Structure 1
């Protein structure tokens, strides 16, 4: 162990984690901007989830449902499906967005996806 307590591998892991975090924030920023929401909201905890609910066409009070264990998993699935629909993607993309958001959000933000509007009842 080095004198500082950090091994070189720790520094590499930290750098990789920071790069991934910055890319994810940038992807969410762009996805929110595509949906005519403030992109800077991506960096504000809880507010970014509120904006994501709005992009999905869901009411803001659904934010409280994320605090209920078990219910939050189902709510997040519904929101992910609604987000996929809002960007004119299919159900499987929505499931992928639910299970692998670190892949789905960059696809929405950096890819050619266009926001077509929220329509959770369709």
Structure 2
């Protein structure tokens, strides 16, 4: 693993940890593979069966995009922010976690 990969990994984990904390979830859940996806699904307000769809090729691309949009909206961010969460999570999750946005559990 290169230094750049390690920096990206740490940025995503720390950013997701803070996002989980803001959403009222345990931050350590961001460290556990698959469980962190389950928690993100909950934060995004998606049903449990979406979790199964994340493991189906091509379907997962669409579901991750929709989940990114739902998470962005729940934190009061515009749709373009969801594009950042989808394509540049190492940059946008820390912005979401450390920024001033607040979790709105019933946002559309």
Taking structure 2 as the reference length, what is the TM-score of the superposition? Answer: 0.91
Q: Which runs of 4+ in 1 moved over 2 A?
A: 13-20
Aligned to 1:52: 40
Distance 2:59 2:100 in 1: 32
Distance 1:94 1:32 in 2: 16
Does 2:78 correspond to 1:78? no
Which structure has the greater CA radius of gyration?
Answer: 1
Does 2:19 correspond to 1:19? no
The count of aligned residue pairs is 108
Aligned to 1:32: 20
Kindly state the Cα deviation for residue 23 of structure 1 after the two structures are TM-superposed.
Answer: 2.5
Kindly state the Cα deviation for residue 114 of structure 1 after the two structures are TM-superposed.
Answer: 1.0
Say which of 64, 67, 81 aligns to 1:93: 81
Extract unaligned runs of 5+ from structure 2: none
Larger RCO (alpha carbons 8 Å, 6+ apart): 2
Distance 1:49 1:60 in 2: 11
Maintained 8 Å contact 2:53/2:59: yes
Aligned to 1:42: 30
Maintained 8 Å contact 2:15/2:94: yes
| RMSD across aligned positions (CA) | 1.4
Kindly state the Cα deviation for residue 96 of structure 1 after the two structures are TM-superposed.
Answer: 1.9
Extract unaligned runs of 5+ from structure 1: 1-12
Maintained 8 Å contact 2:15/2:90: no
